[in-house]
Amino acid sequence: MKQVKVLLVDDSAEFLASASDFLARDPRVQVVGQALHGREGVRLAEALSPDIVFMDLIMPVMNGLDATRRIRSGPNPPRVIIVTMHDGPEYRRSAEIAGADGFICKTDFAEHAFAMIDAYFVGAVGPAGSPGPNAPNLLSSVSTASAMHCGSALSNDSSARLR
């Protein structure tokens, strides 16, 4: 199996470093780039052709929803998974409208990141990269209990959970 190329887009350099280190533990994954805001993420997505982008929602310069729209409107776009501390039906609906393929909380990144990759790149992908019959609905796959703590004041430093 070829490595899955991942681009990380988040305004927290600490989260980028932690997420990159965490993902690099799996030999199936290659982190090809990191961006600190949406505009840089769009540019890197065009230049690096990742298979999947893990995109923060709230960032300076260009937010994750605008960046997702731009990335998904290009030819052969990668999968885009929103990774955020902000959760609720309005955020998930906005992500879906923007074209995101999934939505997970930063606090759950370590628990769900590889499942997101596996859902699209290990036997669950249908023709032309579309989700196959075994692919879950990744925009609603996080449990209600998990979603409730996503937006809570547990900790804004989610990178500690990745170690």
Task: Report which residue type is found at 53.
Answer: V
Q: Left if phi > 0, otherwise alpha if psi is -120 to 50, otherwise beta: which for 111?
A: alpha
Domain extent at residue 135 = 4-162
Number of domains composing the chain: 1
Is residue 145 classed as helix, strand or coil in its secondary structure? helix
pLDDT band at 1 (very low <50, low <70, confident <90, very high): low
User: With 70 as the cut, is the pLDDT of residue 160 above it?
Assistant: no
Do you know the residue count of the chain?
163
User: What is the C-alpha to C-alpha distance for residues 27 and 3, in angstroms, rounded to an integer?
Assistant: 7
Average pLDDT of 112-136?
A: 60
User: Tell me: the pLDDT tens digits for 46-57?
Assistant: 999 999 999 999
pLDDT band at 80 (very low <50, low <70, confident <90, very high): very high
User: What is the C-alpha to C-alpha distance for residues 60 and 62, in angstroms, rounded to an integer?
Assistant: 6
Domain CATH code at residue 32: 3.40.50.2300
Backbone angles phi, psi at 125, to 5 degrees: -100, 135
Give the pLDDT confidence score for residue 120 in this predicted structure. 77
Give the pLDDT confidence score for residue 88 in this predicted structure. 83
Least confident piece of the model among 14-18, 36-40, 155-159: 155-159
Question: What DSSP character marks residue 16?
Answer: H
pTM (2 d.p.): 0.78
Average model confidence (pLDDT) for the chain?
Answer: 79
